[in-house]
Structure 1
Amino acid sequence: MTPTVTVDLARLDANISRYGGRAAEAGVALRAHVKGHRSPEIAARQVAAGAVGVAVHSAAEAMAYLEVGVTDVAVAWPWRDPWRWTRFAQLARHCAVTVHVDHPEAVAGLGAAAEAHGVELGVRIEVDTGLHRVGVDPDAAGELAATVARTHGVRLAGVTGYVGLTDAAAARDRAELGRRQARLLVSVAERIRAAGSPCPTVSVGGTPTLPGALDVAGVTEVCAGAYALLDGGFARLGECDPEAVAITVTTTVTGNDGRVLRTDADALLAGADQTWMSGVVMTAPDGAPVSPASVSVGDELRVLPGHVCPVVARRPLLHVLDSGEPVARWQALVRPDRA
């Protein structure tokens, strides 16, 4: 048998409501990053529940979200490839577009592309919050903001940053990590404003650090990707109950040596772990925990993937269940701007 990736509607909607409620209670906007589910149908439910828009990595995928009513798109990666800037300007003919930036060349290129296409692009300064992967040093953000102010075709929409959980210690400290990240971004925004530039948005990224970020005054938006579906990593962390996870992989046991199970989903799940916690949550179809000693070859199991993002990217056909009955099939999207 081929393993099936399923989405439970009741759990999906409950997650969307719960996290949306947290943000609303704090008076903070919630933006849905689509990297977790890659599904226009799920994004439409998130926006209908109050999300201000979506975050994407490419203009090509963004067009599919416009078709389901999304009108506000953030390109949540500071691309420096000149050919992309035209794509983002073209996208801005159809919706509000904000692009993350971390280099003056990108600001200049986006401004030129926007002017050539008769649009204006918002830009958010991506701040390095400690991962040292992308983003400007916090002390250099003011200089980049001044560059934006001098550049036609773009306007400064705010600052943003993301901090991932790199290990188990960071995962345990996730709330405080979110607070530190948020305080840093708020301080950067305050310095930019003090220098004379508007900086309306302070957007903090990440689902596991979201509760901490919501504690910090001055945060105006949280951007989260995994909150709609969740995954086994969040369940093992204690961030949610296993029954809250809306995505599961239905698989069949193909081998059992009494200690380690082999299933027909092993290839799909290989390496699909959180960076801070490996492994999946494996249960019987009724949700009861299982151990290798309790199952036999041929048994069907329900697996909560450790990390939702790679599983959806590898197996993008989502089988949608309502009260256990199939009601739809959603095709998740993997659309780079240049194949």
Structure 2
Amino acid sequence: MSESWKEKVSTPALVVDYDILQRNIKKMAEFTKNRGINLRPHVKTHKCPIIAHMQLAAGARGICVAKVSEAEVFAACGVNDILLANEVISPEKIQRVLNLNTFTRTMVIVDTKKNVEDLNQAASKRNVELEVLIDLNVGMDRSGVLPGDAALELAKLIEKSTHLKLHGLQAYEGHLMYIKDFDQKEAQTKACMKNVVETKELIEENGIDCNVITGGGTGTYNITGTYPGVTEIQPGSYIFQDHHYHSLVPDFDIALTVLTTVKNKPVKGIITLDMGLKAITIDKGNPEFKGYGRKVSLGALSEEHCQCTCSSKVELNIGDKIEAITAHICTTVNLYDFFHVIQNGEIIGIWDISARGMNV
């Protein structure tokens, strides 16, 4: 495939391979369809309405977002089924969620009695029915109420609330995503989901409708997504993949890279790229370089520069452009305003990352 497109792109830049993107979308959609469950992809990974609509067109039930501001962006772009997979606590954000529910379905998760009461009070004043899911702590210890009796008590409170409706249970096993040994990951994930399914049954035994169990991620999609009783999964990173996830879940291919230019060759065996911490993140590891394997490796990363060591077999000159594969796709995407979309060696689009920086 021709790489002449690189000459037309100012660097550093985010580049998406359109065909790989489409394959990843299709593969996850077919997985969920074949198992009779819903797909609700987490769009915090790509933050791009165009890609969200591609996922919905392929069969996704709706989307997940992390922030109210993300929900506002995607709702304004025509997405009409949104799960805000975080508790909404502050009064002004609650009002914004209620505003969204005047024209699009926007659900939230809850894990405390006070939050349930605050949401119900605000919804009653606006005469809006708000759908909520109980957030279960399945071992991550970041948020959520414990499965079992504690969740049941919260379900009873929601059932009594005049303007809240229990949609189901949210159960994100994020602490298991990066376990390398699959058998260990499978056993721990199934143990989590067993507690979740039993909690759903307990709630229903007490006469309360609880129709949905949603959770999972790219790292556990094929475990959580096949567990009896789970009705929906929320993977995000599969859409692009990064080399960290790809080493654990090779089912989806790497569709996104950071294009960068060789700026300097200060000494033998060293190149400096125009890709620093403002262009790629390293919170989950150093980037790899497409087509170079271990022949090019990161030495130091500053705000605007990346110094790399090169094998004697590598011939890179000032002005050459190479592609870096990030170890964490979500945080890297949030550094950019748009994607360059490539197909068959040509730039076919510039897609806005409209929810970039939407952190409130």
- TM-score, scaled relative to structure 2: 0.84
1:192 aligns with 2:203: yes
Q: Report the secondary structure of 1:250's partner residue.
A: strand
Aligned partner of 1:144 in structure 2 is 154
List alignment gaps of at least 5 residues for structure 1.
Answer: none
Aligned partner of 1:30 in structure 2 is 39
Larger Rg: 2
Aligned partner of 2:332 in structure 1 is 311
Judge conservation of contact 1:58–1:335 (CA < 8 Å) in 2. no
1:300 aligns with 2:341: no
In structure 2, what residue type is equivalent to 1:250? L
Q: For 1:316 and 1:177, how far apart are their aligned partners in 2?
A: 38
| CA-to-aligned-CA distance 1:210-242 (integer Å, 9 cap, x gap) | 10012211000001111211122122225246x
CA drift at 1:164? 2.0
Q: For 1:257 and 1:126, how far apart are their aligned partners in 2?
A: 54
Judge conservation of contact 2:178–2:248 (CA < 8 Å) in 1. no
1:281 to 269, 274, 288: 288
CA drift at 1:195? 1.8
Q: Report the secondary structure of 2:234's partner residue.
A: strand
2:219 to 186, 205, 208: 208
Two-structure CA RMSD over aligned residues (Å): 2.3
In structure 1, what residue type is equivalent to 2:330? C
- CA distance 1:156–1:261, change in 2 (3 Å): farther
Q: For 1:176 and 1:248, how far apart are their aligned partners in 2?
A: 33
Q: Report the secondary structure of 2:55's partner residue.
A: helix
In structure 1, what residue type is equivalent to 2:348? V
Judge conservation of contact 2:279–2:335 (CA < 8 Å) in 1. no
Residues paired across the two proteins, number: 330
Equivalent residue runs for 1:104-115 within 5 Å: 104-115=113-124
Judge conservation of contact 1:272–1:305 (CA < 8 Å) in 2. yes
Identity %: 28
In structure 2, what residue type is equivalent to 1:9? Y
CA drift at 1:58? 2.9
- CA distance 1:264–1:39, change in 2 (3 Å): same
Judge conservation of contact 1:170–1:177 (CA < 8 Å) in 2. no
| CA-to-aligned-CA distance 1:255-312 (integer Å, 9 cap, x gap) | 58777764222324654343xxx2323123xxx6351212435332211111111111
Judge conservation of contact 1:232–1:306 (CA < 8 Å) in 2. yes
Q: Report the secondary structure of 1:329's partner residue.
A: strand
CA drift at 1:207? 1.2
1:18 to 18, 27, 47: 27
Q: For 1:336 and 1:218, how far apart are their aligned partners in 2?
A: 34
Judge conservation of contact 1:59–1:91 (CA < 8 Å) in 2. no
- TM-score, scaled relative to structure 1: 0.89
- CA distance 1:296–1:202, change in 2 (3 Å): same
1:155 to 160, 165, 174: 165
Judge conservation of contact 2:219–2:249 (CA < 8 Å) in 1. no
- CA distance 1:166–1:174, change in 2 (3 Å): closer
